[in-house]
Amino acid sequence: MESNKELDIRLREYFEWFHAHPELSYEEYETTKKIKDILDKEGIEIISYELETGLVAIVRGKKQGPVRALRCDIDALPVLEETGLSYASKKEGKMHACGHDFHIVAGIGCAILLNERKDELKGTVKIIFQPGEESARGALKILEADAMEDVERIWGFHADPTNEVGVIGIREGYVAAAADKFVVRISGVGCHGAHPDDGVDPMPIAAGIIQALQTVVSRNINAFHPALISVTRLEAGHTWNVIPETAYLEGTVRTMDKEDRVLAEKRMREIVENTAKAYGGKAIFEWHPGSPAVYNDAKMVELAKKIATCRKLQVVPQEQSMGGDDFSFYEESIPGCYIKIGTGVGQTIHQPGFKVDERVILPASLYIAELINS
């Protein structure tokens, strides 16, 4: 069994390679090959599933116990890196700006540690190197491959640039929002800009809808329940003196509570259709469901806190986020827990200056390995 110092050096080398070679969702071919090569070298078994990118490793313990899983996402973002790191991205306009390079390597470190301790391992652990998390649908690829059929609980984690190395954010209950998309297609009657009375202007319909949608959160949802509606795109018209025939809106809805999610869709549809009708036009409302809210199981949370304290890590309340994570798709059928691991305070995720302090890699691997085997 190697020393922690030797493992730390090796994991840092792996981390720098993954950081320098980012790939976007469902394009993680080079990343998948590198993970496979490392796991083969480390003598870790890989399960054969029908996955184009991503893979699932497995460590089979010598002691009886449950089947557990660890999710590690592997894709990068279309962000131009501005960190100044010696191992910065070699791919123009692509960057591991969300810490998934850290997730990959902490997962590899966990697999190595568990594999070294197979005699002490209770049950079986699957380490899922999941593609396409940034698409909000990558978890479905793993589920469709039947990789989770026998799993009894699942752990997930994320880089946290709001906390220093050695700090773990843990919270029971909802920690990340359901992330849904909506589209509104407005139809009016186009006409000359100087004669609006000859048509039905979609512009005031769009404006009315945008204003009214905000009342769903302020007037329909419990004030103590986190929720938001953001219209993020508006398109209409092509020139200055013609009233267009159509307008197009799209945006996102974020909710924690399941009933609020249902209510938001219902009220938004009513507002869109009736506002357009009041102005003499028509509107079609489309709801595109994304990932559900991430919910942390109470027993798993207590275990995560206990192990962190035993390892002399500082436990802080995990910040609730209106961001989403497709980790929640796994939780629709099994208990899960998703924690935040401090990676050094700096620029937040999805920004070009985001960095992970490499000192976090080995401690994170050790913590997760012990957590999964407890």
- Pair (309, 352) in one structural domain: yes
Distance, CA of 172 to CA of 300 (rounded, Å): 9
Query: What is the per-residue pLDDT across 221-242, written as a single tens digit (0 to 9) for each?
Result: 999 999 999 999 999 999 999 9
Query: What is the per-residue pLDDT across 17-46, written as a single tens digit (0 to 9) for each?
Result: 999 999 999 999 999 999 999 999 999 999
Task: Count the domains in the chain.
Answer: 2
Q: Where among 288, 313, 348 does a domain terminate?
A: 288
- Pair (116, 169) in one structural domain: yes
- For residue 110, the surrounding DSSP H or E stretch is helix 100-116
Q: What is the CATH number of the domain that holds 160?
A: 3.40.630.10
Q: Where among 239, 265, 288 does a domain terminate?
A: 288
Q: Strand pairing partners for 320? A: none
- Pair (308, 163) in one structural domain: yes
* pLDDT band per the 50, 70, 90 thresholds, residue 1: low
Q: What is the CATH number of the domain that holds 275?
A: 3.30.70.360
Distance, CA of 372 to CA of 370 (rounded, Å): 6
Nearest to 331 by CA among 151, 136, 73: 151
Buried b / exposed e along 71-83 (16+ C-beta atoms within 10 A) = bbbbbbbebebeb
- Pair (39, 171) in one structural domain: yes
Distance, CA of 192 to CA of 334 (rounded, Å): 58
- Pair (341, 223) in one structural domain: no
Provide CB contacts within 8 A for 239, sequence distance 6+: none
Distance, CA of 270 to CA of 98 (rounded, Å): 37
- Pair (139, 239) in one structural domain: no
Distance, CA of 307 to CA of 290 (rounded, Å): 33
- Pair (268, 297) in one structural domain: no
The tokens for 155 are 């752990």
- Pair (127, 270) in one structural domain: no
Task: Calculate the alpha carbon distances from 328 to 23, 58, 72, 154 in Å.
Answer: 23, 21, 13, 10
- Pair (147, 8) in one structural domain: yes
- Pair (333, 355) in one structural domain: yes
Q: Where among 288, 312, 328 does a domain terminate?
A: 288
Full residue range of the structural domain in which residue 13 is found: 4-176+293-372
What's the alpha-carbon Rg for the chain, to the nearest Å?
24
What backbone phi and psi angles, to 5 degrees, belong to 203? -65, -55
pTM of the model as a whole:
0.93
Query: What is the per-residue pLDDT across 164-212, written as a single tens digit (0 to 9) for each?
Result: 999 999 999 999 999 999 999 999 999 999 999 999 999 999 999 999 9
Query: What is the per-residue pLDDT across 110-121, written as a single tens digit (0 to 9) for each?
Result: 999 999 999 999
Distance, CA of 100 to CA of 133 (rounded, Å): 9
